[in-house]
A and B are shown apart, each in its own frame.
Chain A
Amino acid sequence: MSAVPVTVNTEWLSDCSGCHIAIVDLHEKILAVLDSVTIQRCPVLTDIKDYPHATVGLVSGAIRNEHDRHAAMEMRKSCDLVIAWGSCAVFGGPAGAGNVHTREEIADAVYLNNKTTVSAQPPSCEVSPLESTVSPLDKAIDVDLYLPGCPPHPAFVFDALLALVEGRTPKATQESVCGHCTRQMRKTDVDAIRSNSDGIANADQCFLSQGYLCMGSATIDRCLSPCPQNGIPCTGCAGATMQVLTEPNRDIRTEIAERMSKLTKIPRDAIVKEIERTSKSHYSYTMATQMIGEKPTFLIRRWIAEADQDYQGAKYDTQ
């Protein structure tokens, strides 16, 4: 153990708070952590409003407005080492899906013409205006380490912190979500893609084998696979695997289609097409990062326009 006490600041930008709640979910196990590290600024645990000097800074959330950018820069100034914590900070997260719309469209859908609540004017004071695009943390400040996950399982967060204290390499692996799943992958004669609401999946067999689109094989494991083990196909919340991030010719949709078409009788192109049709769901966590969003084959605006055209066409046909 290091003789120098490790102090931690955490900050929460544009995100849902889940990363911070994951720390609180440690319950009394947090006492073991507090033996090694001192938590200073932490929006869910302490009432410190400024940015005291800390050895480690955990920043969750994407950069969506001027306030986020300011807070990120304050964290960079006050912390020796900054970790982008959670999928929003690493990849932009679900907020990144805002990049396929203009700020005016978002204000219109959320405030002016919201279909599920009373209409109102967008806020003009107190809340800083949206920036033109959503950025991952490393577009605003230098980031030393990245910890994806939505939220990263606390086991990974504290293994990372303890590894820093003890000067060793963290135990995090590069395996995908399938690595901790317990379903068996078997070759089947399934010949059509099924939606998640279509029947009840066999609990012992891989979703892909049964025709359900599961993103587990293209998603890095920072969660210990709770969703597929509890009957829910993976939605890819921890972001893409290393091979998708580093290889320009590999992508989330092609990786899934490659494997699913070999496990079932569904043609590869049909799977690629279906993921493109539902691209806003399948790429929602990662589209704001250059590593996915700037791949030359990532044509989300075209896919959304095509899906919209099909939808409008279908509506026209039934009228």
Chain B
Amino acid sequence: MNPVVIEIHERACRGCELCVDICPTKVFRFDQDARLCKVEHAEDCIACLSCGYICPSHAIKHSGHHEVKNFYRDSEFCNRVGRFL
């Protein structure tokens, strides 16, 4: 299985380390000098997306993972935000 691709928008990273703390499989490493988080073990990612949700800047994007349809979401609202510029 191909690993999940994790992209971090470096300019948006505020150095809070919340992604490092929340990741259940220790995918991230915190670079103390640059005060930025780095992806160290992308192959361990289980695509729980916890890091993407906790990131204050919404700077972490995942691709290549299996998307689960969340039935609890309001489809009308999802459709509406799809048209946000």
Q: Do A and B come from one complex?
A: yes
Contact A170-B58, Cβ < 8 Å, known A247-B73, A259-B18, A262-B18: no
Contact A187-B57, Cβ < 8 Å, known A146-B84, A147-B85, A291-B77: no
**Additional A-B contacts beyond A176-B56, A176-B57 (9; CB < 8 A):** A145-B84, A178-B57, A179-B12, A184-B35, A185-B14, A242-B81, A247-B72, A259-B18, A262-B21
Contact A217 B85, beta carbon cutoff 8 Å: no
B-contact 0/1 string along A198-213, CB 8 Å cutoff: 0000000010100000
* Binding site secondary structure of chain A: mixed
Contact A246 B58, beta carbon cutoff 8 Å: no
The answer to whether the Cβ of A248 comes within 8 Å of any Cβ in the partner chain is: yes
**Which residues does chain B contribute within 8 Å of A243, judged by CB atoms?**
53, 58
Contact A248 B9, beta carbon cutoff 8 Å: no
**Which residues does chain A contribute within 8 Å of B33, judged by CB atoms?**
none
A-B contact pairs, 23 of them (CB 8 A): A83-B85, A144-B83, A146-B81, A146-B84, A170-B85, A172-B84, A174-B58, A176-B58, A178-B57, A178-B58, A181-B14, A185-B14, A186-B16, A206-B16, A217-B57, A242-B81, A245-B81, A246-B81, A258-B54, A259-B18, A262-B18, A263-B16, A263-B18
The answer to whether the Cβ of A285 comes within 8 Å of any Cβ in the partner chain is: no
Contact A248-B72, Cβ < 8 Å, known A148-B84, A217-B56: yes
**Which residues does chain A contribute within 8 Å of B74, judged by CB atoms?**
246, 248, 291
Contact A187-B17, Cβ < 8 Å, known A156-B85, A175-B12: yes
Tell me the count of chain A residues lying within 8 A, CB to CB, of chain B.
44
Q: Which of A148, A180, A290 contacts B12 (CB 8 A)?
A: A180
Contact A146-B9, Cβ < 8 Å, known A184-B35, A258-B54: no
The answer to whether the Cβ of A19 comes within 8 Å of any Cβ in the partner chain is: no
The answer to whether the Cβ of A160 comes within 8 Å of any Cβ in the partner chain is: yes
List A232-252 residues whose CB lies under 8 Å from chain B.
Answer: 241-243, 245-250
The answer to whether the Cβ of A183 comes within 8 Å of any Cβ in the partner chain is: yes
The answer to whether the Cβ of A96 comes within 8 Å of any Cβ in the partner chain is: no
In the complex formed, the residue of A with least CB distance to B73 is A246
A interface with B by C-beta (< 8 Å): 83, 138, 143-148, 156, 160, 170, 172, 174-176, 178-181, 183-187, 206, 208, 216-217, 220, 241-243, 245-250, 258-259, 262-263, 290-291
Contact A178 B14, beta carbon cutoff 8 Å: yes
Q: Which of B11, B77, B85 contacts A145 (CB 8 A)?
A: B85
Contact A291 B80, beta carbon cutoff 8 Å: yes
Cα A146 to Cα B83 in complex, Å, equals 6
Contact B84 A242, beta carbon cutoff 8 Å: yes
Q: Which 3 pairs of residues, A with B, have the shortest CB-CB distance?
A: A185-B16, A217-B56, A179-B12
Cα A115 to Cα B56 in complex, Å, equals 41
Contact A184-B18, Cβ < 8 Å, known A176-B57, A242-B81, A245-B77: no
Contact A259 B16, beta carbon cutoff 8 Å: yes
The answer to whether the Cβ of B1 comes within 8 Å of any Cβ in the partner chain is: no
Cα A101 to Cα B21 in complex, Å, equals 43
Cα A160 to Cα B84 in complex, Å, equals 10
Cα A22 to Cα B57 in complex, Å, equals 25
Minimum CB–CB distance from A313 to chain B (whole Å) comes to 35
Q: Which of A143, A172, A184, A187 contacts B14 (CB 8 A)?
A: A184
Cα A78 to Cα B81 in complex, Å, equals 25
In the complex formed, the residue of A with least CB distance to B76 is A290
Cα A135 to Cα B15 in complex, Å, equals 39
List B15-72 residues whose CB lies under 8 Å from chain A.
Answer: 15-18, 21, 35, 53-54, 56-59, 70, 72
